[in-house]
Amino acid sequence: MDGTKDKGLLVVSFGTSVNETREKNIDAIERQLAEAFSERRLYRAWTSGMIIRKLKKRDGMQIDTVQEAMERMLADGITELLVQPTHVINGIENDGMTAEIMSYADRFAHIYMGAPLLTSEEDSRAVVSALMEECGPLAADEALVFMGHGTLHYVNPVYAALDYRFKDMGYPNVFVGTVEAYPSFESLVKLVKAYGAKRVILAPFMVVAGDHAVNDMSGPEDSWRERFRAEGFEVECVLKGLGEYEGIRKLYSEHAKAALREQA
């Protein structure tokens, strides 16, 4: 076998049924990782079985589950595996993925595990810099509000910590909230009003600008856009997933490189 053909790179994402945002975000992250690790064969897996089934039925598109990808790589003769998730936090999806992959530990010579986007203090600083490099500068009467997913997992406070990090790095009018946990929309409204903003720019803090961004953030009914408008704010929505920011894509590559260095 060719010397490098036994090395694999598995990129694991939650997934999305919105093809346009998949191409701009998940595909873009995968391309950057493939370029950074050109000596490895690229594989893809998604953790959402519901989205995988939807794409197969709607588009005839086949996406591997984590288990299917692991079996595919074994069949292809992969012995050394580098795994990089595109997950934002070390939450439920990442825990489940890690457990599934490590159940194959005795079938590979080595498995290197890259970290999700927000894992360390350095990550939060890098994320703020990457986002504001493309989102700023803001006017004094504007507030930039990022919508994260949120989780019941104990790691959820990372969203509030990131909100604080923006302010600590000199961005008092940038806020981070979540759809399903804390900081909630109600908390954000109070904070944005206390700042004194007149105009709100909404953007997803999710890898893809998918269902939550289209419906919960910018939809015609009961969305964050409509609720901010009802509170008297002028609102603009930016449907741009995290994978569209160059600095975010680079950070995923850095996490994969760190995994090889630190776990060797």
Cite the active site residues.
149
Distance of CA 34 to the CA centre of its chain: 18
SS3 133: helix
- Dist. CA 6–CA 46, nearest whole Å: 22
Helices (DSSP H) in 120-245: which residue ranges? 121-135, 158-168, 185-195, 211, 224-230
Helices (DSSP H) in 136-239: which residue ranges? 158-168, 185-195, 211, 224-230
End-to-end Cα, the chain, rounded Å: 23
- Dist. CA 245–CA 241, nearest whole Å: 8
What sign for the dihedral angle of Cα 75, 80, 86, 91? positive
